[in-house]
Amino acid sequence: MFPDRTFFNRLAEAAKAETLPRFRSGTGVTNKLASGFDPVTEGDRAAEVAIRALIEQNFPEHGILGEEFGNVGLDREHVWVIDPIDGTRAFISGVPVWGTLIGLYRNGRAIMGMIEQPFTGERYFADESGSYYTGPEGERKLQVRDCAGLSDAILFTTSPHLFTGTEMDRYREIESQVRLFRYGTDCYAYALLAAGHIDLVVENGLKPYDVGGIIPVIEKAGGIITTWDGGRPENGGSIIAAGSQAVYDAAVAILRR
C-alpha cells in the first residue's frame, strides 16, 4: 500500500476539522519567540496532531518532519513534511490566504504534495500523474502559463521586509521590472502560480515544511521551483518559483549577481 490522492484528502479533511472552526473565531495565539513575533495557534497544533495520527496509523514505517512537534525518522526512504497552517499571521488576521501543506519525500525528493485552503474550499494536489485543482471552479488539471518575460509577469512575495542587504537590492530590481507585484499571500501564491494566474514567487528564509507540499504542485503543473542558486528546494532557504523558463531565467540572473 502506498499513499494516494484519497489518503491525502483524508489528511486534508482531518486538518480542516481542526483549522476551519478556529478561523475568525478569536482563537488563542502563542508567541514562540522571546524577542519578536512568531505566532502559533491552537489550530496549528491540533491540525498537525490530526495529520500525524493518520500517518502513524497507516504508514508507521514513514518518517515525519513537522513544524510544531518535531521530527521522526528523517533518514527513512519516505518522509512526510507537514505545515499545518502556513501563513499563521494571515490566519489570525482573518485573511484566507493561509493553507495546510502536506508533502511526501522519497529519498529526499518531493514526489507528492497538497496545498489545502479550507475556507475557500480549494485543494491543489500533485502526484506522478500531474497537478490538480478541486474547488468552487470545479476540477481540472493545473498548468502554469507561458509568460514571455519579466515585463509581462505578475510577482508575489510574502513581504519585502523579509529581505535584507543585497537580497533586498536584488528583489527590488526584479520588482521594478515586472508588470504587477503583490504582497502577503503566503502559500496561496504558489497555488496561484500552479493554476496559471501569476508568474513568479520570490522568497527567502523558508523551512522545509514551508515548501514540501508545494514543490510537486508547481513542478507537475509545468513550473520551476529551486533555490536562488538553482539547487533543489526541498530543504528550503531562498526560493524562486516561476511558471515559464523565460521568467525564471531572467529573475535568476538578477538573484545570482
List, for residues 54-112, the tens digit of each pLDDT value.
999 999 999 999 988 989 999 999 999 999 999 998 998 999 999 999 999 999 999 99
What's the whole-model pTM score? 0.94
pLDDT tens for 151-178 read 999 999 999 999 999 999 999 999 999 9
The values of phi and psi at residue 181, to 5°, are -135, 150
Which band of pLDDT confidence, cut at 50, 70 and 90, is reported for residue 42? confident
In terms of Cβ atoms closer than 10 Å to its own Cβ (0-12, 13-18, 19+), residue 149 is middle
pLDDT reported for residue 70: 81
pLDDT tens for 213-229 read 999 999 999 999 999 99
Write out the three cell numbers for 116.
Answer: 489545502
Write out the three cell numbers for 78.
Answer: 519516505
Q: Is 80 exceeded by the pLDDT of residue 25?
A: yes
Write out the three cell numbers for 157.
Answer: 512575495
C-alpha angle with apex 194: 41 to 112, nearest 5 degrees?
Answer: 70
Q: Which phi-psi region, left, alpha or beta, contains residue 69 (left: φ > 0; alpha: ψ -120 to 50)?
A: alpha
User: What does the DSSP assignment read for the chain?
Assistant: ----HHHHHHHHHHHHHHHGGGTTTT--EEE--SSS--EEEHHHHHHHHHHHHHHHHH-TTSEEEESSS-EE-TTSSEEEEEEEEE-HHHHHHT-TT-EEEEEEEETTEEEEEEEEETTTTEEEEEETTEEEEEETTEEEE-------SGGG-EEEES-GGG--HHHHHHHHHHHHHSSEEEE--TTHHHHHHHTTS--EEEEEEE-HHHHTTTHHHHHTTT-EEEETTS---TT-EEEEEESSHHHHHHHHHHHT-
